[in-house]
Amino acid sequence: MAQTKQARITAVGHDLPDDRLTNSELEAVVDTNDEWIRSRTGIEERRILKDEDKATAFMGAEAAKEALKQRNISANEIDVIIVATVTPDYLFPATACLIQKELGAVNAFGYDLSAACSGFLFALSNGANQIESGRAEKVLVIGADKMSSIIDYTDRSTCILFGDGAGAVLLEASEDETGIIDYIHHTDGDTDGALYQPAGGSLNPADENTVARRLHYVKQDGRTVFKKAIVGMADVIEEIMEQNRLSANDVDWLAPHQANLRIIEATANRTGLNRDRVMVNIDKYGNTTAATIPLCLYDWKEKLNHNDDIILAAFGGGYTWGSLYLKWGIK
């Protein structure tokens, strides 16, 4: 087996549908208004994948293709494909299988990982472990969600929040001190239905009743999740900073999950991180679930310097939450 090496991100790709859904367009659909949405969430618009024959695998594959092109490597060099998503094209086969076929990644095995808004973070640490163990040389980690497929556009408390999109990173062994250094992940299944999609799984398979009761859509007790997210995100960032002896000044960038601008700002304040060092693109895309963090990395990649200390952090359904500390490896 190859020698243990730290995993680093060597390329970042993305995919966003062209169609935009603005706050004022939502005003025509539910009882809401632009001012409320902006001030309570920071969201101005989101992207919606409207093509009926396209879904999460399409966006994930496009993001992966961009990452491969950036690194100038062919798909048959990929060993593993991990797809974080809560909106797989099918319950099975896994979205990773569909992406594997689309890419022609004939030497890769792949699987989906379901951890809602923390999915990309968990998938990234998973992928890094495969590189570090020497079992894999090139791993694609993709966060992709077509949230519009599980959103109830008659429910104003959720339909204003979510959008569609995908981000992908390529992981390879690091040749220097850069790469994924540490991570902390948590799960607490005691949510009492605060955030879930009640039907479509093996407990409540689809029937006329589940459809009539709109149980195939996201249900969220926003206020409860909000309180949990603020504490969870800030705690887990402080935890990883402490564990790695990082002060706020040592952290060059924070890439937080984009669920609500107020959660992001409260987290930055509590951890003492300067607001201009915090990646925020929720205004443009809303909450794209597993895609928010790789979309941040994509949008910021021109500003990131080799060796920058970056913390990624997320909180979401499950509950799941976590942080990850890396040194940026792309020159």
Ligand X SMILES: CC(C)(COP(=O)(O)OP(=O)(O)OC[C@H]1O[C@@H](n2cnc3c(N)ncnc32)[C@H](O)[C@@H]1OP(=O)(O)O)[C@@H](O)C(=O)NCCC(=O)NCCS
296 binds ligand X (CB under 6 A): no
Binding mask 218-247 toward ligand X (x if CB under 6 A, else -) reads ----xx-xx--x------------------
Annotation says 216 is catalytic: no
Other beta carbons within 10 angstroms of residue 245's beta carbon come to 7
Annotation says 117 is catalytic: yes
Distance linking the first and last C-alpha atoms of the chain: 28
In the region spanning residues 25 to 64, those forming contacts with ligand X, defined by CB under 6 A, are 32, 36, 40-41
157 binds ligand X (CB under 6 A): yes
Closer by beta carbon to ligand X, 5 or else 262: 262
The DSSP secondary-structure symbol of 85 reads -
Of these residues, 14, 97, 159, 257, which one is catalytic? 257
In the region spanning residues 113 to 142, those forming contacts with ligand X, defined by CB under 6 A, are 117
Report, in Å, the least distance between residue 24 CB and ligand X.
13
Chain centroid offset of residue 99 CA: 17
Residues binding ligand X: what is the number (CB under 6 A)? 19
84 binds ligand X (CB under 6 A): no
Contact 81, 171 (CB under 8 A): no
80 binds ligand X (CB under 6 A): no
In the region spanning residues 245 to 264, those forming contacts with ligand X, defined by CB under 6 A, are 259-260, 263
Contact 49, 159 (CB under 8 A): no
Report, in Å, the least distance between residue 162 CB and ligand X.
8
Contacts of 206 (CB under 8 A, 6+ apart): 199, 200, 216
Binding mask 260-289 toward ligand X (x if CB under 6 A, else -) reads x--x-----------------------x--
Report, in Å, the least distance between residue 315 CB and ligand X.
6
Of these residues, 97, 117, 159, 296, which one is catalytic? 117
Q: How far apart are CA 134 and CA 53, in angstroms?
A: 38
Residue nearest ligand X, CB atom distance:
222
Contact 267, 313 (CB under 8 A): yes
Report, in Å, the least distance between residue 262 CB and ligand X.
7
Per-residue HEC secondary structure of 7-51 comes to EEEEEEEEECCCCEEEHHHHHCCCCCCHHHHHHHHCCCEEECCCC
Q: How far apart are CA 82 and CA 108, in angstroms?
A: 10
User: Could you identify the residue written with the tokens 């879930």?
Assistant: 196
Which residues on neighbouring strands pair with residue 13, listed in sequence order?
168
Annotation says 249 is catalytic: no
Q: Which positions are catalytic?
A: 117, 257, 287
Q: Which positions touch ligand X (CB under 6 A)?
A: 32, 36, 40-41, 117, 156-157, 160, 222-223, 225-226, 229, 259-260, 263, 287, 316-317
